[in-house]
Amino acid sequence: MYDDLLQPFIRYGFMQRALVGSLLLSASCAPVGVFLMLRRMSLTGDAMSHAILPGAAVGFLLFGLKIVPMTLGGLAVGLLVAIGSGVVSRFTVQKEDATMAAFYLISLAVGVLLVSWRGSSVDLMHVLFGSVLALNDEALALIAMIAGLTFLALGIFWRALVAECLDPLFLRSVSRVGAPVHFLFLVLVVLNLVGGFQALGTLLSVGLMMLPAAAARFWSNQVRSMCFIAIAIAAASSLGGLLLSYHASLPSGPAIILTAGGIYILSILAGRRGVLRNAFASRGHRTA
């Protein structure tokens, strides 16, 4: 048991940094994913994860694989896409989901071309899929800062975020904070995707945000409870994925997301609101 579970994290510094970074991302990304899911914006998170690629690619072209330039570039382009899609949907006939899809497809294509233009296939794989085992102290500090900002924003604006999530029209009718809170939420999404990009790349960073949130929906109806359950699932996925990666010699990022996917499937079947529970409840009603 010791050799299988604890020894990799005690013996190797890169495993320790990977675990700390993954746990910080789990605590930060999972609650944001719950709000995205409840807003029925799950695919928006996926679109935004691709949208940060051109900014990260520009940072890569100018400074190489350095954390700060790629992060600032991804953050700038991610916010630009989020704001741009909102402006287009508000002043034209096109809905926000279609606008977001168009923006993210363009961003993904531009980003891949930019990285491929000056980098190698290894650089492209690093940007697209990340490398959680290669996290350094600078990346950990950035992830910790993003997690701290997320906790602060959730603590201060929790009630407004819940209200804007469940009934945005009501919030806008009784308060002027609806639009600012919506923008704040988009900023939190982009920030956490940028943080996840350091470990999981642009293609997989949304996985740690959405899969635990989707799994938590099968265990609770309350927003606060779903957030805590999602954090626990994300943390378990990070730990299990890193161990799976270490023992089976698998890529660490996909191993983490596949572990989260396994927990999601288990939640579908065995959750309090899952398939088996509903099937037994329906059978009990028919018997009665």
**pLDDT tens for each residue of the chain, 288 residues long:** 666 677 888 888 888 998 999 999 999 999 999 998 888 777 777 777 777 878 887 887 787 767 778 888 888 888 888 777 777 776 777 776 677 778 778 887 887 787 777 766 666 666 666 678 778 888 888 889 999 999 999 999 898 888 877 776 666 666 777 678 888 888 888 888 888 877 777 667 888 889 999 999 999 989 999 999 999 999 999 999 999 988 888 888 889 999 999 999 999 998 887 787 777 666 665 555
- The answer for residues whose C-beta is within 8 angstroms of residue 256's C-beta and 6 or more apart is 22, 132, 200, 207, 208, 237, 238, 240, 241, 242, 245
Q: Which pair of structure tokens corresponds to residue 13?
A: 């510094």
- Residue 3 pLDDT: 65
Q: What pLDDT is stored for residue 23 in this prediction?
A: 93
Instruction: Say what the pLDDT of residue 149 is.
Output: 93
pLDDT confidence of residue 63? 79
Give the separation between CA 106 and CA 111, rounded to whole angstroms.
9
CA angle (42, 47, 51) in 5-degree steps: 145
Contact 78, 219 (CB under 8 A): no
Exposure string for 149-163, b = 16+ CB within 10 A, e = fewer: bbeebbeebeebbeb
What single string gives the DSSP state of each residue in 199-210?
HHHHHHTTHHHH
Whether domain 2-203 has CATH 3.40.50.970: no
Check residue 161 and give its pLDDT: 86
- Phi/psi class of residue 251: alpha, beta or left (left: φ > 0; alpha: ψ in -120 to 50)? beta
The pLDDT score that the predictor gives to residue 123 is: 61
Q: Where are the domains of the chain?
A: 2-203
Q: Tell the residue number behind the tokens 């675990």, with chain if given.
A: 19
- Cα→Cα distances 230→15, 17, 71, Å: 23, 22, 25
